[in-house]
Amino acid sequence: MSEFEPDAAAAVERAVEALAGRRIALLTGAGVSTDSGIPDYRGDGAPRRAPMTGQQFLADDAARRRYWIGSHLGWQRFSSIVPNAGHRAVAALEDAGIATGVVTQNVDGLHVRAGSRRVVDLHGTMNRVFCLRCGQGYAREDVSTMLERDNPWIAVSPEVALGPDGDVRPESADGFVVPACTVCGGMLKPDVVFFGEFIPAERFREAEAIVHGSEALLVAGSSLVVNSGIRLVERARRRALPIVIVNRGETRADARATVKVDAGASEVLSALADRLPALPGRD
Protein backbone atom coordinates (compact mmCIF):
# COMPACT_ATOMS: atom_id res chain seq x y z
CA MET A 1 0.00 0.00 0.00
CA SER A 2 3.05 2.27 -0.20
CA GLU A 3 1.67 4.13 -3.24
CA PHE A 4 -0.95 5.79 -0.98
CA GLU A 5 -0.68 8.42 1.71
CA PRO A 6 -1.27 6.94 5.20
CA ASP A 7 -4.89 8.10 5.49
CA ALA A 8 -5.75 6.81 2.01
CA ALA A 9 -3.96 3.51 2.65
CA ALA A 10 -6.03 2.98 5.80
CA ALA A 11 -9.21 3.84 3.89
CA VAL A 12 -8.33 1.31 1.16
CA GLU A 13 -7.90 -1.34 3.87
CA ARG A 14 -11.37 -0.52 5.20
CA ALA A 15 -12.78 -0.62 1.68
CA VAL A 16 -11.37 -4.12 1.15
CA GLU A 17 -12.97 -5.24 4.43
CA ALA A 18 -16.34 -3.72 3.46
CA LEU A 19 -16.38 -5.23 -0.04
CA ALA A 20 -14.73 -8.64 0.38
CA GLY A 21 -17.01 -11.56 -0.42
CA ARG A 22 -19.75 -9.34 -1.83
CA ARG A 23 -21.08 -8.83 -5.32
CA ILE A 24 -20.40 -5.22 -6.22
CA ALA A 25 -22.17 -2.71 -8.47
CA LEU A 26 -19.90 0.03 -9.79
CA LEU A 27 -20.86 3.62 -10.54
CA THR A 28 -18.16 5.60 -12.33
CA GLY A 29 -17.72 9.24 -13.28
CA ALA A 30 -15.30 11.52 -15.09
CA GLY A 31 -12.52 10.92 -12.55
CA VAL A 32 -12.09 7.38 -13.86
CA SER A 33 -11.12 8.70 -17.31
CA THR A 34 -8.76 11.53 -16.36
CA ASP A 35 -5.75 9.19 -16.52
CA SER A 36 -6.67 8.54 -20.15
CA GLY A 37 -6.32 12.26 -20.90
CA ILE A 38 -9.98 13.27 -20.71
CA PRO A 39 -10.43 16.22 -18.34
CA ASP A 40 -12.78 16.20 -15.37
CA TYR A 41 -15.76 18.54 -15.12
CA ARG A 42 -15.17 19.88 -11.63
CA GLY A 43 -11.70 18.87 -10.47
CA ASP A 44 -8.70 21.14 -10.15
CA GLY A 45 -7.85 22.62 -13.53
CA ALA A 46 -11.14 21.60 -15.12
CA PRO A 47 -12.00 23.75 -18.14
CA ARG A 48 -14.74 26.32 -17.76
CA ARG A 49 -17.60 25.30 -20.00
CA ALA A 50 -21.18 26.17 -20.91
CA PRO A 51 -22.70 22.80 -21.78
CA MET A 52 -25.03 22.48 -24.74
CA THR A 53 -28.66 22.11 -23.70
CA GLY A 54 -31.14 19.93 -25.51
CA GLN A 55 -33.31 22.97 -26.17
CA GLN A 56 -30.44 24.89 -27.78
CA PHE A 57 -29.50 21.95 -29.98
CA LEU A 58 -33.05 21.55 -31.29
CA ALA A 59 -33.97 25.20 -31.72
CA ASP A 60 -30.84 27.08 -32.79
CA ASP A 61 -29.18 26.33 -36.15
CA ALA A 62 -26.06 28.32 -35.23
CA ALA A 63 -25.71 26.52 -31.90
CA ARG A 64 -26.14 23.18 -33.64
CA ARG A 65 -23.39 24.04 -36.14
CA ARG A 66 -21.06 25.07 -33.31
CA TYR A 67 -21.83 21.87 -31.46
CA TRP A 68 -21.21 19.58 -34.43
CA ILE A 69 -17.92 21.16 -35.47
CA GLY A 70 -16.64 21.21 -31.88
CA SER A 71 -17.83 17.65 -31.30
CA HIS A 72 -16.19 16.45 -34.50
CA LEU A 73 -12.88 18.16 -33.84
CA GLY A 74 -12.86 16.61 -30.37
CA TRP A 75 -13.87 13.20 -31.72
CA GLN A 76 -10.78 13.08 -33.91
CA ARG A 77 -8.75 12.98 -30.68
CA PHE A 78 -11.34 11.39 -28.42
CA SER A 79 -11.57 8.25 -30.54
CA SER A 80 -7.83 7.58 -30.21
CA ILE A 81 -7.79 7.71 -26.39
CA VAL A 82 -7.29 4.32 -24.72
CA PRO A 83 -8.53 2.80 -21.44
CA ASN A 84 -6.37 3.25 -18.37
CA ALA A 85 -5.57 1.04 -15.38
CA GLY A 86 -8.83 2.00 -13.67
CA HIS A 87 -10.94 0.82 -16.60
CA ARG A 88 -8.94 -2.40 -16.78
CA ALA A 89 -9.39 -2.96 -13.03
CA VAL A 90 -13.17 -2.64 -13.37
CA ALA A 91 -13.13 -5.24 -16.16
CA ALA A 92 -10.97 -7.50 -13.98
CA LEU A 93 -13.49 -7.26 -11.14
CA GLU A 94 -16.20 -8.45 -13.51
CA ASP A 95 -14.00 -11.29 -14.80
CA ALA A 96 -13.44 -12.39 -11.19
CA GLY A 97 -17.19 -12.63 -10.57
CA ILE A 98 -17.05 -9.72 -8.13
CA ALA A 99 -18.65 -6.92 -10.17
CA THR A 100 -22.24 -7.38 -11.33
CA GLY A 101 -21.82 -4.56 -13.84
CA VAL A 102 -20.84 -0.94 -14.21
CA VAL A 103 -23.06 2.12 -14.50
CA THR A 104 -21.05 4.99 -15.96
CA GLN A 105 -21.80 8.68 -16.21
CA ASN A 106 -19.10 8.96 -18.90
CA VAL A 107 -19.81 9.00 -22.63
CA ASP A 108 -16.34 7.85 -23.73
CA GLY A 109 -17.01 4.11 -24.16
CA LEU A 110 -13.73 3.22 -22.42
CA HIS A 111 -15.24 0.64 -20.07
CA VAL A 112 -16.38 -1.47 -23.02
CA ARG A 113 -13.03 -1.06 -24.77
CA ALA A 114 -11.30 -2.22 -21.57
CA GLY A 115 -13.32 -5.44 -21.60
CA SER A 116 -16.30 -4.75 -19.33
CA ARG A 117 -19.34 -6.63 -20.63
CA ARG A 118 -22.30 -5.35 -18.61
CA VAL A 119 -22.17 -1.57 -18.97
CA VAL A 120 -25.00 0.94 -18.68
CA ASP A 121 -24.04 4.25 -20.33
CA LEU A 122 -26.22 6.38 -18.09
CA HIS A 123 -25.69 9.57 -20.11
CA GLY A 124 -25.33 7.85 -23.48
CA THR A 125 -22.24 7.41 -25.61
CA MET A 126 -20.38 9.47 -28.19
CA ASN A 127 -19.96 6.29 -30.24
CA ARG A 128 -23.53 6.39 -31.57
CA VAL A 129 -25.66 8.91 -33.45
CA PHE A 130 -29.35 8.67 -34.25
CA CYS A 131 -32.00 10.50 -36.29
CA LEU A 132 -34.53 12.43 -34.26
CA ARG A 133 -37.17 11.96 -36.99
CA CYS A 134 -37.02 8.30 -38.04
CA GLY A 135 -34.76 6.80 -35.37
CA GLN A 136 -32.11 5.50 -37.79
CA GLY A 137 -28.89 4.78 -35.91
CA TYR A 138 -25.32 5.43 -37.10
CA ALA A 139 -21.85 4.56 -35.90
CA ARG A 140 -19.97 7.73 -35.04
CA GLU A 141 -17.22 6.79 -37.49
CA ASP A 142 -19.75 6.86 -40.34
CA VAL A 143 -21.03 10.30 -39.34
CA SER A 144 -17.44 11.54 -39.13
CA THR A 145 -16.89 10.36 -42.70
CA MET A 146 -19.97 12.32 -43.78
CA LEU A 147 -18.75 15.43 -41.97
CA GLU A 148 -15.31 15.30 -43.54
CA ARG A 149 -16.78 14.72 -46.99
CA ASP A 150 -19.03 17.78 -46.69
CA ASN A 151 -16.47 19.89 -44.80
CA PRO A 152 -13.07 18.94 -46.26
CA TRP A 153 -11.39 21.93 -44.61
CA ILE A 154 -11.85 20.45 -41.12
CA ALA A 155 -8.65 19.68 -39.25
CA VAL A 156 -7.60 19.63 -35.63
CA SER A 157 -4.30 20.43 -34.02
CA PRO A 158 -2.95 17.82 -31.58
CA GLU A 159 -2.57 20.64 -29.06
CA VAL A 160 -6.31 21.45 -29.09
CA ALA A 161 -7.89 21.47 -25.60
CA LEU A 162 -10.21 18.49 -25.31
CA GLY A 163 -13.41 18.87 -23.29
CA PRO A 164 -14.89 16.34 -20.84
CA ASP A 165 -17.49 15.20 -23.39
CA GLY A 166 -14.94 14.83 -26.18
CA ASP A 167 -15.59 18.24 -27.71
CA VAL A 168 -13.55 21.38 -28.31
CA ARG A 169 -14.46 25.04 -28.64
CA PRO A 170 -14.38 25.96 -32.33
CA GLU A 171 -13.15 29.42 -33.31
CA SER A 172 -15.86 29.64 -35.97
CA ALA A 173 -18.64 27.50 -37.42
CA ASP A 174 -19.18 29.66 -40.49
CA GLY A 175 -19.86 27.58 -43.58
CA PHE A 176 -20.05 24.32 -41.68
CA VAL A 177 -22.45 21.76 -43.15
CA VAL A 178 -24.40 19.93 -40.44
CA PRO A 179 -24.95 16.19 -41.09
CA ALA A 180 -28.44 14.95 -41.91
CA CYS A 181 -30.06 11.53 -41.88
CA THR A 182 -29.35 9.66 -45.11
CA VAL A 183 -32.71 7.88 -44.81
CA CYS A 184 -35.18 10.72 -44.23
CA GLY A 185 -33.11 13.92 -44.15
CA GLY A 186 -33.94 14.44 -40.48
CA MET A 187 -31.80 15.97 -37.73
CA LEU A 188 -29.00 13.84 -36.31
CA LYS A 189 -28.04 13.90 -32.64
CA PRO A 190 -25.29 12.06 -30.77
CA ASP A 191 -26.71 9.48 -28.40
CA VAL A 192 -25.86 11.54 -25.33
CA VAL A 193 -28.01 13.20 -22.69
CA PHE A 194 -27.58 16.94 -23.07
CA PHE A 195 -27.72 19.29 -20.10
CA GLY A 196 -31.35 19.66 -19.02
CA GLU A 197 -32.50 16.43 -20.68
CA PHE A 198 -33.81 13.40 -18.83
CA ILE A 199 -32.13 10.02 -18.80
CA PRO A 200 -34.36 7.53 -20.66
CA ALA A 201 -36.47 5.64 -18.12
CA GLU A 202 -35.53 2.23 -19.51
CA ARG A 203 -31.82 3.03 -19.23
CA PHE A 204 -32.18 4.12 -15.61
CA ARG A 205 -34.09 0.91 -14.83
CA GLU A 206 -31.12 -1.04 -16.24
CA ALA A 207 -28.83 0.87 -13.89
CA GLU A 208 -31.14 0.20 -10.95
CA ALA A 209 -31.14 -3.51 -11.82
CA ILE A 210 -27.35 -3.66 -11.49
CA VAL A 211 -27.54 -2.07 -8.04
CA HIS A 212 -30.49 -4.23 -7.03
CA GLY A 213 -28.60 -7.41 -7.98
CA SER A 214 -25.58 -6.46 -5.88
CA GLU A 215 -24.50 -6.64 -2.26
CA ALA A 216 -22.42 -3.46 -2.23
CA LEU A 217 -21.94 -0.26 -4.23
CA LEU A 218 -18.56 1.12 -5.28
CA VAL A 219 -18.55 4.70 -6.60
CA ALA A 220 -15.38 5.82 -8.38
CA GLY A 221 -14.41 9.18 -9.84
CA SER A 222 -17.70 10.99 -9.36
CA SER A 223 -18.56 13.94 -7.15
CA LEU A 224 -22.20 12.80 -7.46
CA VAL A 225 -23.41 16.28 -8.34
CA VAL A 226 -25.72 14.83 -10.99
CA ASN A 227 -28.97 13.60 -9.48
CA SER A 228 -28.95 10.27 -11.31
CA GLY A 229 -25.87 9.19 -9.38
CA ILE A 230 -27.30 10.26 -6.04
CA ARG A 231 -30.49 8.33 -6.80
CA LEU A 232 -28.50 5.12 -7.25
CA VAL A 233 -26.56 5.74 -4.04
CA GLU A 234 -29.86 6.24 -2.26
CA ARG A 235 -31.16 2.91 -3.64
CA ALA A 236 -28.13 1.21 -2.08
CA ARG A 237 -28.48 3.10 1.21
CA ARG A 238 -32.13 2.09 1.60
CA ARG A 239 -31.08 -1.56 1.28
CA ALA A 240 -28.34 -1.01 3.89
CA LEU A 241 -25.64 -2.02 1.40
CA PRO A 242 -22.02 -1.07 2.07
CA ILE A 243 -21.18 2.02 0.01
CA VAL A 244 -17.55 2.76 -0.84
CA ILE A 245 -16.75 6.09 -2.52
CA VAL A 246 -13.41 6.71 -4.24
CA ASN A 247 -12.90 10.30 -5.30
CA ARG A 248 -10.42 13.12 -4.94
CA GLY A 249 -12.26 15.74 -2.94
CA GLU A 250 -15.75 15.85 -1.48
CA THR A 251 -18.87 14.27 -2.96
CA ARG A 252 -22.54 14.82 -2.25
CA ALA A 253 -22.78 11.37 -0.66
CA ASP A 254 -19.78 11.34 1.68
CA ALA A 255 -22.10 11.27 4.70
CA ARG A 256 -23.78 8.12 3.35
CA ALA A 257 -20.54 6.25 2.63
CA THR A 258 -19.42 3.25 4.64
CA VAL A 259 -15.89 4.11 3.50
CA LYS A 260 -14.61 7.20 1.67
CA VAL A 261 -11.22 6.93 -0.05
CA ASP A 262 -9.78 10.32 -1.03
CA ALA A 263 -7.34 9.16 -3.71
CA GLY A 264 -7.02 8.56 -7.44
CA ALA A 265 -9.52 6.21 -9.05
CA SER A 266 -6.99 4.24 -11.11
CA GLU A 267 -4.76 3.48 -8.13
CA VAL A 268 -7.58 2.49 -5.79
CA LEU A 269 -9.50 0.41 -8.34
CA SER A 270 -6.29 -1.43 -9.21
CA ALA A 271 -5.60 -2.11 -5.53
CA LEU A 272 -9.14 -3.42 -5.01
CA ALA A 273 -8.94 -5.65 -8.09
CA ASP A 274 -5.68 -7.10 -6.75
CA ARG A 275 -6.89 -7.67 -3.20
CA LEU A 276 -10.56 -8.65 -3.38
CA PRO A 277 -11.05 -12.43 -3.54
CA ALA A 278 -12.69 -13.84 -6.66
CA LEU A 279 -16.22 -15.21 -6.37
CA PRO A 280 -16.20 -18.30 -8.63
CA GLY A 281 -19.48 -19.67 -9.82
CA ARG A 282 -21.45 -16.50 -9.04
CA ASP A 283 -22.54 -14.87 -12.29
Contact of 37 with 29, CB cutoff 8 Å = no
Residue 87 falls in the annotated catalytic set? no
DSSP 164: T
Give kind and range of the element (H or E) at residue 244. Answer: strand 243-246
Per annotation, catalytic residue among 72, 87, 111, 123: 123
Q: How far is CA 17 from CA 221, 230, 242, in A?
A: 20, 24, 10
DSSP 200: P
220 beta partners: 28, 246
- In three-state secondary structure terms, 108 is coil
22 beta partners: none
Do you know the residue count of the chain? 283
Query: Which residues are marked as active site?
Result: 123
